[in-house]
């Protein structure tokens, strides 16, 4: 080793004396810090942003999970055009699309040889169509990667839960992986087992996901059929779920996972949000989220497309936190993306493009406290700003703590910092700071943990001539490929409109200097509308619309609408079965952060009866599950009864809150309008066999 060091310095000295170009280097690259990604995983990570398409019988039955007994007859898109999906995806910068070829209901969007439960028995194209084929061709035409979702759970198949289904499942996998073009990602959802049609058995079937599919063998077959396909989700997957359906990774996000533990059922899925610093396998996170509350299209959600603010946040909290973003846009009953979704997508991409438009670090003076091989360009700091992901800066062996300093020619305002590690050699950085010199003092503008493939920090505006990145701790010497900085325009966040239990409304803007304009008559607020100065009373039903305006930067938020029903102050819970009356007021206090819980064994189904204190024309009800506390269960199956006199009751709805475990959002159930004063909600089944069920709030739709 000493001999090597001596030789290296002699070589260096000769080079310096002869003024030789320092690019011909003999300094070894840094040793990898394991685990490291495969080439397939590296290529996949670079895709960054791709789309999800949830489309099947559910689109026509208005459900999130089909039971499996849907007739193929219901599948009848009138204007299905996969080229529209691909065109929109391409225009907004997506790199691929993944289609639900088969969701939990078992209906196949391609004419599978192995079942009659498919498009071939639907009226669409007289049973001669193949959505997967059309989708594949559209992806090809627009230069997008082609991906498929094949639900391991099949609520239609008679053999599900038994051996026969595994053969069926693998046959279908083979069809999808070999009959079309190359599949870039195979998506295996984790929801598996429960009630279903199962060929007419109409029963509950539970399986052990870890064992039932013999994933080892199944994966072997997949790679035989399609070696370049990246497998996502269950089994020894090459990429992982991010642990929620909100599209959000934790700030600390490792691309490693203790996969062995995971396969032994020892990892809670919440851990997926951060991965494991000591994970033995490279299993990077993919953040999936729908542009609407549900994964499938529901007309009732046309006005519930996620706000621009939320979409922008999702981008920064997924791609900006070392995850890929899989964004769902559900085609409607025509088989086309809805205009509202397209508009929001375009708005989101516009904001991101504006935010990250001009890299202010391109061409600035940059220095590092240490560079591997000293004067060699091979690992020099200019590699950080050369726009080339394949070149990197790194340090001498053993030098972890290090600093990179950027010197602007003139004082420059920044509020975004983008950093990338050269992950081919492993993910390393554990702790780093970003500092700016302001009035000759170092100001810490960010103190962070991981970087990974990409990290984008949103900071306050800071005007500085010197910016410094301080690497404080890492799993090995730092190896960074890129650093950029930007000055994003001010994005004015939506004002928050709240009404308390007494009917007092308050509206709050993000910054005290923002001016809020609002209306209460349903009209769109303009700069001529009243300015909000203090809270006001609005006990009855109504709608408030508001926008926030930043006069200095001349930027406005979007207009936010908040509809309120009548106050529930007159409501009374007159009966509660299967749980104590204590805290029952929390069910109707208008506050999602308080809750009521049922008895610990919800096998004893519970029911709640509410007196609305007046006859209303009821159009439905809402149920807000408790979303933050994970050891509490939710209602999965319900029945709703109504009455005008608390004596004669009529059942007006019965159903399932599908996917409530992974996506515990406000559940809205619409019914045929009916006059009622009393409502009774029966919980018929919970999301798990044991434990208490929590209810944050019940409401009505008038």
Q: Minimum Å distance from CB 231 to ligand FUL?
A: 16
Task: Report, in Å, the least distance between residue 246 CB and ligand FUL.
Answer: 12
| CA of residue 584 relative to chain centroid, distance | 33
Contact criterion met (CB below 8 Å) for 440 and 420:
no
d(CA 606, CA 617): 25
Closer Cβ to ligand FUL, 288 or 605, answer by number? 288
Which lies closer to ligand FUL via its Cβ, residue 237 or residue 587? 237
Q: Which helix (H) or strand (E) holds 165?
A: helix 163-178
Q: Which is nearer to ligand FUL, 55 or 491 (CB)?
A: 55
Reduced 3-state DSSP string for 194-262: EEECHHHCCEEECCCHHHHCCHHHHHHHHHHHCCCCEEEECCCCCEEECCCCECCCCCCCCCEECHHHH
For residue 236, what are its two tokens?
A: 């020894």
Query: Using CA atoms, how far apart are residues 310 and 489, in angstroms rounded to an integer?
Result: 17
Does residue 687 contact residue 661 with C-beta atoms inside 8 Å? Answer: yes
Write down the residue that tokens 């809150």 correspond to: 657
Closest approach of Cβ 74 to ligand FUL, in Å? 18
Residue 117 vs 468, nearer CB to ligand FUL: 117
Report how far residue 542's alpha carbon sits from residue 519's, in angstroms, rounded to the nearest whole number: 11
Name the minimum Å distance from CB 209 to ligand FUL: 12
What is the dihedral sign for C-alpha 455, 459, 463, 468? Answer: negative
Sequence-ordered list of residues with C-beta below 8 angstroms from that of 358, at least 6 positions apart, any chain: 486, 487
Distance in angstroms (rounded) separating the CA atoms of residues 102 and 328: 16
Q: Yes or no: say if 676 and 631 are a contact pair by the CB < 8 Å rule.
A: no
Dig out the tokens for 566 from the structure: 């009548």
Smallest distance, Å, CB 339 to ligand FUL? 23
Least distance CB 586 / ligand FUL (angstroms) = 28
Closest to ligand FUL by CB, 45 or 659: 659
Report the residue number, 109 or 451, with the smaller CB distance to ligand FUL.
109
- For ligand FUL, which residue of 295, 315, 406, 641 counts as binding (CB under 6 A)? 295
Structure tokens at 646: 């608390």
Nearer to ligand FUL, 190 or 265 (CB): 190
Beta carbon nearer to ligand FUL, 98 or 349: 98
- Residue from 185, 288, 484, 562 in contact with ligand FUL (CB under 6 A): 288
Q: What distance in Å separates the CA atoms of residue 630 and residue 687, rounded to the nearest whole number?
A: 12
**What's the min distance (Å) between Cβ of 483 and ligand FUL?**
34
Positions in 60-99 near ligand FUL (CB under 6 A): 64-65
Site string for ligand FUL, 404-433 (x = CB under 6 A): ------------------------------
Closer residue to ligand FUL in complex, CB, 190/501: 190
Indicate the residue among 65 and 254 with the shorter CB distance to ligand FUL. 65
Q: Going by C-beta distance under 8 Å and a sequence separation of 6 or more, which residues neighbour residue 352?
A: 312, 315
Between 233 and 272, how does the x/- string for binding to ligand FUL read (CB under 6 A)?
Answer: ----------------------------------------
Which residue has its beta carbon closest to ligand FUL?
191
Residue placing its CB nearer to ligand FUL in the complex, 190 or 522? 190
Could you say which residues in the range 161-190 bind ligand FUL, by CB under 6 A? Answer: 189-190
Q: Of the candidates 659, 683, 686, 687, which one interacts with ligand FUL according to CB under 6 A?
A: 659
Work out which of 12, 27, 74, 191 binds ligand FUL, going by CB under 6 A: 191
Query: How many residues of this chain interact with ligand FUL, rule: CB under 6 A?
Result: 9
Instruction: Work out which of 662, 670, 673, 688 binds ligand FUL, going by CB under 6 A.
Output: 662
CA distance 64 to 54: 10
Q: Do 249 and 242 meet the contact criterion of CB atoms below 8 Å apart?
A: yes
Q: Does 195 participate in binding ligand FUL (rule CB under 6 A)?
A: no
CB of 188 to ligand FUL, least distance (A): 10
Torsion of CA 304, 307, 308, 311, to 10 degrees: -90
Which parts of 55-214 are beta strand (E)?
A: 96-102, 145-150, 183-188, 194-196, 203-205
Residues in contact with ligand FUL by CB under 6 A are 64-65, 189-191, 288, 295, 659, 662
């Amino acid at each position: 080793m000493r001999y090597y060091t001596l030789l290296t310095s002699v070589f260096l000295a000769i080079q310096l004396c002869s003024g030789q170009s320092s690019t011909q280097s003999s300094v070894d690259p840094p040793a990898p810090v394991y685990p490291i990604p495969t080439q397939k995983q590296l290529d996949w990570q670079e895709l960054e942003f791709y789309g999800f398409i949830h489309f099947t019988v559910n689109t026509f039955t208005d459900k999130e999970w089909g039971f499996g007994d849907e007739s193929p007859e219901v599948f009848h898109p009138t204007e299905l055009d996969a080229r529209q999906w691909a065109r929109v995806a391409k225009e907004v910068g997506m790199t691929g699309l993944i289609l639900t070829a088969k969701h939990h209901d078992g209906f196949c969007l391609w004419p599978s040889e192995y079942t009659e439960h498919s498009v071939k028995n639907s009226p669409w194209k007289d049973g001669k169509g193949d959505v997967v084929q059309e989708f594949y061709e559209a992806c090809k035409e627009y230069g997008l990667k082609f991906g498929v979702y094949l639900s391991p759970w099949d609520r239609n198949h008679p053999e599900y839960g038994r051996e026969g289904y595994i053969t069926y499942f693998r046959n279908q996998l083979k069809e999808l992986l070999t009959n079309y073009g190359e599949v870039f990602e195979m998506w295996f959802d984790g929801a598996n087992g429960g009630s279903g049609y199962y060929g007419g058995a109409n029963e509950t079937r539970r399986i052990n996901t870890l064992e039932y599919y013999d994933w080892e063998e199944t994966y072997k077959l997949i790679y035989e059929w399609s070696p370049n396909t990246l497998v996502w989700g269950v089994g020894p997957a090459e990429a992982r779920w991010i642990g929620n359906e909100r599209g959000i990774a934790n700030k600390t996000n490792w691309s490693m996972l203790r996969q062995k533990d995971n396969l032994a059922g020892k990892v809670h899925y919440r851990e997926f949000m951060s991965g494991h610093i000591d994970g033995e396998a490279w299993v990077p996170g993919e953040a999936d989220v729908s542009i609407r509350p549900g994964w499938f299209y529901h007309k009732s959600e046309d006005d519930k497309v996620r706000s621009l603010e939320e979409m922008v946040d999702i981008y920064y909290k997924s791609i900006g936190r070392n995850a890929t973003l899989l964004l769902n846009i559900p085609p409607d009953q025509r088989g086309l993306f809805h205009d509202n979704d397209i508009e929001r997508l375009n708005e989101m991409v516009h904001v991101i493009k504006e935010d990250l438009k001009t890299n202010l670090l391109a061409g600035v003076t940059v220095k590092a406290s240490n560079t591997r091989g000293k004067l060699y360009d091979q690992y020099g700091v200019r590699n950080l700003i050369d726009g080339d992901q394949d070149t990197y800066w790194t340090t001498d062996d053993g030098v972890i703590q290090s600093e990179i300093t950027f010197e602007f020619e003139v004082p420059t305002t920044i509020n975004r910092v983008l950093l990338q590690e050269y992950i081919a050699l492993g993910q390393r950085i554990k702790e780093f700071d970003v500092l700016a010199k302001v009035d000759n003092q170092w100001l810490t503008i960010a103190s962070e943990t991981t970087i990974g493939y990409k990290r984008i920090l949103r900071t306050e505006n800071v005007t500085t001539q010197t910016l410094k990145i301080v690497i404080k701790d890492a799993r090995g010497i730092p190896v960074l490929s890129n650093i950029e900085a930007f000055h994003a325009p001010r994005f004015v966040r939506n004002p928050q409109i709240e009404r308390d239990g007494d009917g007092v409304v308050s509206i709050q803007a993000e910054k005290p200097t923002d001016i809020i304009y609002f209306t209460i008559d349903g009209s769109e607020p303009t700069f001529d509308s009243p300015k909000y100065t203090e809270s006001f009373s609005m006990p009855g039903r109504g709608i408030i619309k508001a926008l926030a305006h930043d006069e200095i930067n001349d930027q406005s938020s979007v207009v936010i609408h908040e509809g309120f029903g009548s106050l529930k102050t007159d409501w009374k819970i007159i009966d509660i079965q299967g749980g104590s009356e204590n805290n029952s007021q929390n069910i109707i206090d208008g506050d999602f952060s308080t809750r009521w819980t049922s008895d610990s064994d919800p096998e004893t189904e519970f029911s709640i009866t509410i007196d609305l204190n007046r006859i209303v024309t009821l159009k439905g009800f809402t149920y807000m599950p408790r979303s933050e506390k994970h050891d509490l269960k939710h209602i999965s199956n319900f029945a709703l009864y109504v009455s005008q006199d608390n004596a004669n009751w009529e059942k007006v709805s019965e159903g399932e809150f599908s996917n409530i475990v992974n996506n515990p959002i406000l559940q809205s159930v619409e019914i045929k309008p009916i006059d009622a004063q009393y409502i009774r909600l029966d919980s018929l089944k919970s999301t798990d066999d044991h434990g208490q069920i929590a209810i944050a709030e019940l409401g009505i739709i008038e």
